[in-house]
Structure 1
Amino acid sequence: MSRFPRTGPDQEALVGGIAHWPISEEVRKFGFNISPDELAVIASNHRMSRLTLHGGVDGISNKIQVSLKKGIKENEIKTREAIYGTNKYTEKPSRSFWKFVWDALHDLTLIILMVCAIVSVVVGLFTEGFPKGMYDGIGIILSIFLVVIVTSVSDYRQSLQFIELDKEKEKIYVHVTRDGIRQKVLIFDVVVGDVVHLSIGDQVPADGLFVSGYALMIDESSLTGESEHVHISHHKPFLRSGTKVVDGSATMLVTAVGMNTEWGKLMSTLTLSHGGEDETPLQVKLNSVATLIGQIGLAFATLTFLVLLGRFFVEKYINGTEWSAKDASTIVNYFAIAVTIIVVAVPEGLPLAVTLSLAFAMKKLMDAQALVRHLSACETMGSASHICTDKTGTLTTNHMAVDKIWLCEVSKSLSSTSDTVKELHSAIPRNAISVLLQCIFENTSSEVVRGKDGKKTVLGSPTEIALLEFGLKLEDFGGDQYQKNEKVKVEPFNSEKKMMSVVISVHGGYRVFCKGASEIILGMCDKILDKEGNIIPMSQNQSKEILSIINEFASEALRTLCVAFRDLDAFDSREAIPTSRYTLIAVVGIKDPVRPGVKESVKTCMDAGIMVHMITGDNINTAKAIAKECGILTDDGIAIEGPVFRSKSPEELKELMPKIQVMARSSPLDKLMFVEVWKDMFNKVVAVTGDGTNDAPALNRADIGVAMGISGTEVAKESADVIVLDDNFSTIVHVVRWGRAVYVNIQKFVQFQLTVNIVALIINFFSACIIGSAPLTAVQLLWVNMIMDTLGALALATEPPHEELMESPPVKKDDNLITKTMWRNIIGQSLYQLVVLGVLVFCGKKIFNLTGTNADATLNTLIFNSFVFCQLFNEINSREMEKINVFEGIFRNWIFIGIITGTVIFQVIIIEFLGTFANTVPQSWKLWLVSIIIGSISMIIAVILKCVPDELLKLKPSIVLPKDYVPLPDGPDGV
């Protein structure tokens, strides 16, 4: 909040009938002549009368000591933050570790167990005295404590990861002018007095006032809820934080930041905090599975308790023994076992495993330059069957340079060396060079700035940078020095018009410059510059020749654009800029090399059953050349133009879609339609990449929207699920790989947990029915539950992806989570464990010749130890559901190794040192060896199970083509 409390305006300080907040001595001391509250009110409340009273934007800039041309001085930043506040918002503190402990203690089954433990302690004290009577109850309490601590630590660490990822999401950069130099700063570093540059797709970083600009349209729906865009100009100059630029460009003067802005006030009412989000689709699916298993577990637990209680009553009746306090302790223990069976049966680790796996994947993807904004996007990306990608910056490096130019009927190849530019200058008439430079420097949304070292640098979009850098080189070799003229009207570039136009006042008249898509600009021209630089009519043959030049450039994978001009005697800024009778100046070919590794990444996608489509606004020949170089356009595929695609009927699209690999000259609506057809007509999971404001509809409609972190606008990023920080297609493949790893890791965990559930439920139930006691006590079952749920989730949900993941087709939406392969492994392992443990329960004493008073305790400890080692070895088996070599890459996952090692160490401590609390007795080395051998045999069982052919399981392939599917040949009309 502001450092100065809002006590209301000073009623004595009236100027023109309008009250003002008083200016404190601290504000005056630093030379400022307006209070923070006064500044905040002007922009947030749209107070035009107050603004006029202060002398408009110029008056405000004087009162806060800032030059609208040079911006603030770097050495003033700390002072301005001290007086007017920082551009940060107050947030609700993140949850502490003890809050997670408190939440974990609220688990109903744990509460019931705690009650059982307390009752057990009380009864034990009456029957067996102190301290022996307390051991059973304290053992349960210690186990509960361990479960709570491990669960809390896991949840707390996960919340810290979400906080870190949330902070990354909030890193937004804006362009400001400081000390006369335009530079890029974090949105949090913006201060009152900053002159901020806004363009299409930017987020307005703070409240402020419009200084200058063209056709600025703002989307204020995030603040007002109104979908209609607002036109901002000198007549309505108020800009508010959190809104988005949807058209035009401008500079603004920041007047309020952080909690003093309208957005800040809204944020304070919401009291938002970091971390967590809604459940993902996979979590929802697993919750239903967990509920079903829990219900089965409840039934088994109830039956087990009733059987144990029934046998107890029958034995009491047959033996005719009297009731004692010890009998109450026995019944309490029976109830504790039943409740613990429920704890083991309810697989709360399933949703936890999803969250852990996704959080782990999100952290790793951040290291790989991909910021996952929504948790569900990671798992959905693993099911993607189609990726619709941009060309520029995603498949290419986005480091553009002018490579070829056609000017005055001369075609020249250029290079980065100055000699080539010099040759071009000497070969072209001076007046043609002059009008070309004028077009380059006047008709641009970018800016040439001088750094602190005096060197010229260009800020703007890659295409603009390429043109301006070329213009600077040409200017250095004798071109007329660029003289700025008054701009009468500007129509910024957008993806619908595919051109940018500007009208300037020159020599008592007006001149219009336009540049944009080659075919569009060429269609607007009826004149060209000849070899002497004179304006001559364009003949039909010349038009065809220029079109062939454009196609020649495009076939060499160059992005082509045309520049043209037209002189006007008169022009009214309220008029539309003309779209005909232009003179063509030049055709420019801009080179944007394909990124290294893109071809391999595309092949990886295709091998994984993922179709890659390139959707671009470029010329179709350019698009085809780049697509072939990237491996996207194959011999069987086709390229189509947006208008042609748009004209197709649903029946035609149904046949055409499987073959479309490239769409050129596409509009945002073409991209949206392409996504909708795949989703609605073919029920596919579609990922879309985008960087512009107009890509937002397609990004929203796709199953996974992927925005570019470098070239992407804030509107695109806000609409996306994933932000690729390096704008690289290979990074998108990383996201797919990790998405698949998440899904497979969850399947591994489900397979592991269901095996434990089945064995624990059945062995305790049948033991209770047949021998009248459960071999696994409450404390032991709680330990097994922790191995199975929290530790098992950590171990299996953090397995990194391997290359084989990208050799199988994507999982379809309606595929079952538990596959027949998984059921084979679950049933096979469960049968083995049940047979072995059943033999130990009923024949163990005889097999190992156990006699004496300690025989039952020794046998039960052996059963418990063998059961735990079966789970440990089966956890290793679960690393691979189909591959025999389960040890591949195991040492790369230190979390898995650590958990297995830690579990073994703690198991030894439980058996050898905590027997009083865990109902165990120390084992001889022979019995330890027996337990380990029994557990390790499960690995041999796993190999045998994996050798069962898929045909015997009647597994269906994931992708089946229709019987009537026939590949289509290339068609006409741009197809």
Structure 2
Amino acid sequence: MFLKLSKAFTFMVTGVGINTEWGLLMASISEDNGEETPLQVRLNGVATFIGIVGLTVALLVLVVLLVRYFTGHTKNLDGSPQFKAGKTKPSTAVNGAVKILTVAVTIVVVAVPEGLPLAVTLTLAYSMRKMMRDKALVRRLSACETMGSATTICSDKTGTLTLNQMTVVEAYSGGGKMDLPDSKSQLPPILSSLLIEGIAQNTTGSVFVPEGGGDPEISGSPTEKAIIGWAIKLGMNFNAVRSESSVIHVFPFNSEKKKGGVALQLSDSEAHIHWKGAAEIVLDSCTKYVDASGNTVPLDQDKMSFYKKAIEDMACSSLRCVSIAYRTYDMDKVPADEQQLAQWMIPQDDLVLLAIIGIKDPCRPVGNALKQVRMVTGDNPQTAKAIALECGILNSEEDAVEPNVIEGKVFREYTDSEREEIAEKISVMGRSSPNDKLLLVQALKRRGHVVAVTGDGTNDAPALHEADIGLSMGIQGTEVAKESSDIIILDDNFASVVKVVRWGRSVYANIQKFIQFQLTVNVAALVINVVSAMSSGEVPLNAVQLLWVNLIMDTLGALALATEPPTDHLMARSPVGRREPLITNIMWRNLLVQAAYQVTVLLILNFRGKSILGLQRETPQRAIEVNNTLIFNAFVLCQIFNEFNARKPDEFNIFKGISKNHLFIGIIGITLVLQVIIVEFVGKFTSTVKLNWKQWLISIVIGFIGWPLAALAKLIPVPKTPLHKFFTNMCNRRAKSPSKSRSKSPSMSPAKSPSHQ
């Protein structure tokens, strides 16, 4: 199909929609891969585990209580059975069974972590709001926590790791190095004219000169702005130069070829073809250069070596190197037919070198934030290596060797399995194409990494979409890149990426705090009720009391712990990655110690509380009511005190930063006030009675002991390996134990014995 827009131009449409490059790109980034985030996978596992345990315990309690009830082992206060076969009314029996069923259902309600989604949503929403202040716009809520699990970040260089303030600081032209890169007097007129012509026409930038004078305003990519700014200092009048010739054909800058060209018509018989791009690539196509006298002379081996050494030196100084070259061409050889002209490949051989320039883009001051970062850039590997050393991605020159520093074309030639092995070691990838970046992301994900990718161009969209977390640049980023990303960095600053990681880790840590707090309550409540049900047929915590505990544990606990702000302590931790368990060994230690303490104390009160509290003088009914109320009150206060412990699972100072979290303090205060009201004023509803000051003091002391106990628990060392891996390794070691071989070889000396070692 042909579209004739005017007498001068005719366009041929070769594909539309999905059949175009743009269509294929949009289709690839619009596909939903359906992958769950690492946290969602972990939460599903934890929720399923807790639910199964809770349901199992509830069924066990239901069966035990029903058997005890209908066999007459459940007694009244006077010692008589609550159920007598043939004597108890059916309605009374049904009521007794319903009460037992209510207790079992309540246990399920307490055990099932219905507050977990609330805690996750609250902490994500809170973090999302706070991250906006740190110049990070979250487009997908789950991205907040995924960033906290990120084990590696694949970042581009320009504008992210660097300031994106490019200027030409070195130039080689006329056969040697220019003393002052922007000094026009060092260049012969013909060379200066050709340079200005090529820069003005072979560019996607533009120049606006304000009326009445003033500095010209340059627009375009950072590299284009730097080159145009250099040409203006050499005396370029942008608009005047562009009017002196007409564009015949354009070969846009290509990320694969790393160069772009333009064919210009100067007269009826003469044409100029200008090329600009990666220094070493354009230089390889040059056979001549313009010397200091303005003469075009052959580019011999010595001069070629000189220019290659210049490119290497500039690259080692973290400069982006760009070569500018041209050649003449006969207009008679230019296709006259419009269709042929559209397919014409601009000649790119036998070029005349005009200049090689070095562009400096200062590195951002990002401190120690780059230990997990891999730089993926289209620049010369030497330039990328120099920037990586300056930023701290590479620690020394010894690290700057293959495969730590690799070229994109080398990486893409490996097989999938080889790429997985190499990907672990790569710190810098230079001369990379967008597809190389995508291949690196896929290889890292297959290795179990949680991968974050930063990008700003349309070509970065597939990698941004494929990554676990995509971060696009808000200033330089294209709309396609932003649509493909999960978070937009509004100031294009890597320091903001570090803040996103900080908030992400805070989200993950807050969810862990809530789970530790919730599981402690779960374990204590379930064990107390199960042991009591099996031994006496009664449970000290009734349905209403358990529902109040559930409210403290789920809703109020989620509100209190989900809004903990991030701390510097979080950044000292290693990233959790994809396979690390949500419940760590430290969490298991803390919750088991607290749960064991609560279960021990409250069971002692359940079975010996009346004698310990001196309730023998009271009526049996009164004694049981006071004792059960004290158990309920002490249990709730244990959770209030333990909520402070949950704030800092691995730190001794549990009050650090608490004055900044007003919501936490407010919720603790509200919970305490409501507990007093429940015990003292709404006893009929909750089956509680008023307690005297001594009984309140006992409850407070029981809860308070949880603080020093938590500090002592943190002195208990725990293995760094997750428990399931630890026990697996232990079993494997025992399986590999050479005990049989020792029995067969009694002459083995103790020094060589594996057990001795």
Name the TM-score class by shorter chain: 0.7 to 0.9
1:674 is aligned to 440
C-alpha distance in 1 between matches for 2:93 and 2:424: 73
Tell me the equivalent position of 1:428. Answer: 187
Q: How far does the alpha carbon of each residue in 1:181-201 deviate from its partner, in whole angstroms, 9 at most, with x for none?
A: xxxxxxxxxxxxxxxxxxxxx
Find 1:760's aligned residue among 525, 529, 535.
525
2:621 maps to 1:866: no
Q: 2:683 maps to which residue?
A: 915
1:843 to partner: Cα distance: 2.2
Cα distance, 1:428 vs structure 2: 2.0
Contact 1:304/1:765 (8 A) holds in 2: no
Partner Cα separation in structure 1 for residue 174 and residue 647 of structure 2: 67
Residues 541-563 of structure 1: CA deviation (Å, up to 9, x unaligned): 22221222222222221111011
CA separation of 1:951/1:471 partners in 2, compared to 1, >3 Å: closer, same or farther? closer
CA distance in 1, matches of 2:9, 2:549: 68
1:949 and 2:717 correspond: yes
Structure 2 CA distance for partners of 1:839 and 1:501, relative to 1, 3 Å: same
Tell me: CA distance 1:845–1:47, structure 2 relative to 1, closer, same or farther (3 Å).
farther
* Aligned with 1:601 (options 362, 365, 369): 369
Q: Does 1:804 align with 2:569?
A: yes
Q: Deviations over 1:241-269 (max 9, x none)?
A: x99699xxxxxxxxxxxxxxxx9xxxxxx
TM alignment of 1:259-658, pairs within 5 A: 280-300=40-60, 302-303=62-63, 306=66, 309-310=69-70, 311=74, 315-317=81-83, 323=89, 332-412=98-178, 421=182, 424-449=183-208, 456-475=216-235, 483=243, 485-508=245-268, 509-570=270-331, 571-572=334-335, 573-574=341-342, 575-597=344-366, 599-602=367-370, 606=371, 610=372, 612-635=373-396, 636-637=398-399, 638=401, 639-647=405-413, 658=424
Which residue of structure 2 lines up, in the alignment, with residue 134 of structure 1?
Answer: none
**In structure 2, what residue type is equivalent to 1:475?**
G
Q: Map residues 113-262 of structure 1 onto 2, 5 A cutoff.
A: 220=17, 226-229=18-21
Amino acid at match of 1:464: E
Closer/same/farther in 2, CA of residues 778 and 215 from structure 1, 3 Å limit:
farther
8 Å contact kept, 2:585–2:720: no
TM-aligned CA distance change 1:479 to 1:322, over 3 Å? closer
Structure 1 residue 867: deviation in Å?
0.6
SS at match of 1:382: helix
Cα offset, 1:771, TM superposition: 3.9
2-side partners of 1:321 and 1:228: how far apart? Answer: 85
Cα offsets for 1:877-927 (capped at 9, x unmatched): 122223222222222333322222221122122223333322223332322
SS at the partner of 1:298?
helix
Could you tell me which residue of structure 1 aligns to residue 494 of structure 2?
Answer: 729
Distance in 2 separating the partners of 1:243 and 1:500: 22
Consecutive unaligned residues of structure 1, counting only runs of 5 or more, are 1-45, 59-210, 221-225, 232-241, 247-262, 264-275, 415-419, 961-975
The CA deviation at 1:511 is: 2.0
Q: Tell which has more relative contact order, 1 or 2 (C-alpha 8 A, sep 6+).
A: 2
Distance across 2 between alignment mates of 1:381 and 1:746: 14
Q: Distance in 2 between matches of 1:316 and 1:539?
A: 109
> For 1:550-583, what per-residue CA distance to the aligned partner results, in whole angstroms no more than 9, with x for missing partners?
2222222111101112222222323111111222
CA–CA distance in 2 between the matches of 1:932 and 1:212?
88
Percent identity (aligned): 45
Q: Residues 827 and 212 (structure 1 numbering): CA distance in 2 closer, same or farther, change over 3 Å? A: farther
- TM-score in terms of structure 1 length: 0.65
Which secondary structure does the structure 1 equivalent of 2:432 belong to? coil
CA distance in 1, matches of 2:239, 2:223: 21
The question of whether the paired residues in 2 share the 8 Å contact of 1:429 and 1:533 is answered with yes
Name the structure 2 match of 1:175. none
Instruction: For 1:879 and 1:389, locate their aligned partners in 2 and report how far apart those are by CA, in whole Å.
Output: 33
Kept in 2, the 8 Å contact 1:214–1:491? The answer is no
Contact 2:634 2:702 in 1 (8 A): yes
Q: Kindly provide the amino acid, as one letter, of the partner of residue 548 in structure 1.
A: K
Residues 138-161 of structure 1, C-alpha deviations (whole Å, 9 max, x = no match)? xxxxxxxxxxxxxxxxxxxxxxxx
Which runs of no fewer than 5 residues in structure 2 stay unpaired? 31-35, 336-340, 730-757
- The Cα offsets for residues 200-228 of structure 1, whole Å up to 9 and x where unpaired, read as xxxxxxxxxxx9999999984xxxxx254
- Cα offset for 1:863? 1.4
Whether contact under 8 Å (1:873, 1:939) holds in the other structure is yes
Q: Measured at CA, do residues 696 and 453 of structure 1 come closer, stay the same or move farther in structure 2, by a change above 3 Å?
A: farther
Query: Matches of 1:822 and 1:772 in 2, distance apart?
Result: 33
| Paired residue type of 1:339 | V
Secondary structure of 2:368's aligned partner: helix
Give how far 1:934 is off: 0.6
Equivalent-residue separation in structure 1 for 2:10 and 2:211 (angstroms): 26
Q: 1:478 to 1:802 in 2, by over 3 A?
A: closer
In the TM superposition, residue 871 of structure 1 has moved relative to its aligned partner by 0.8
Whether 1:890 and 2:658 are equivalent positions in the alignment is yes
Residue identity in the other structure for 1:584: L
Structure 2 residue aligned with 1:828, among 593, 615, 619?
Answer: 593
Residues 318/892 of structure 1: CA separation in 2 closer, same or farther (3 Å cut): same
Where 2:427 maps in the other structure, the secondary structure is: strand
1:751-810, CA deviations, whole angstroms, 9 ceiling, x for partnerless residues?
Answer: 211111122122223333444433223222111111111222222233233333333333
SS of 1:492's equivalent in the other structure is strand
Matched, 1:738 2:503: yes
> 1-side partners of 2:212 and 2:673: how far apart?
62
Indicate if the aligned counterparts of 2:2 and 2:10 stay in contact, CA closer than 8 A: no
Q: What residue in structure 2 maps to residue 704 of structure 1?
A: 469
SS of alignment partner, residue 468 of structure 1: helix
1:933 deviates by: 1.0
Q: SS state of the match for residue 533, structure 1?
A: coil
Deviation at 1:323, TM superposition (A): 4.3
Deviation at 1:749, TM superposition (A): 1.9
Q: Offset at 1:516?
A: 0.6
How far apart, CA to CA, are the structure 1 residues paired with 2:56 and 2:565? 33
* Distance in 1, Cα, partners of 2:581 & 2:705: 30
State the alpha-carbon separation in 2 of the partners of residues 713 and 957 from structure 1: 47
Aligned residue type for 1:618: D
Contact 1:389–1:615 (Cα < 8 Å) also in 2: yes
In the alignment, is the contact (CA less than 8 A) between 1:691 and 1:716 conserved in 2? yes
- 1:819 is matched with which residue? 584
Q: 1:298/1:867 Cα in 2 relative to 1: closer, same or farther (>3 Å)?
A: same
Q: 1:525 to 1:545 in 2, by over 3 A?
A: same
Q: Is the 8 A contact 1:675 1:702 kept in 2?
A: yes
Q: How far apart are the structure 2 equivalents of 1:480 and 1:307?
A: 100
- Give the TM-score of the pair, scaled to structure 2: 0.83
Number of residue pairs matched? Answer: 697
Root-mean-square deviation (CA, aligned residues, Å) is 3.8
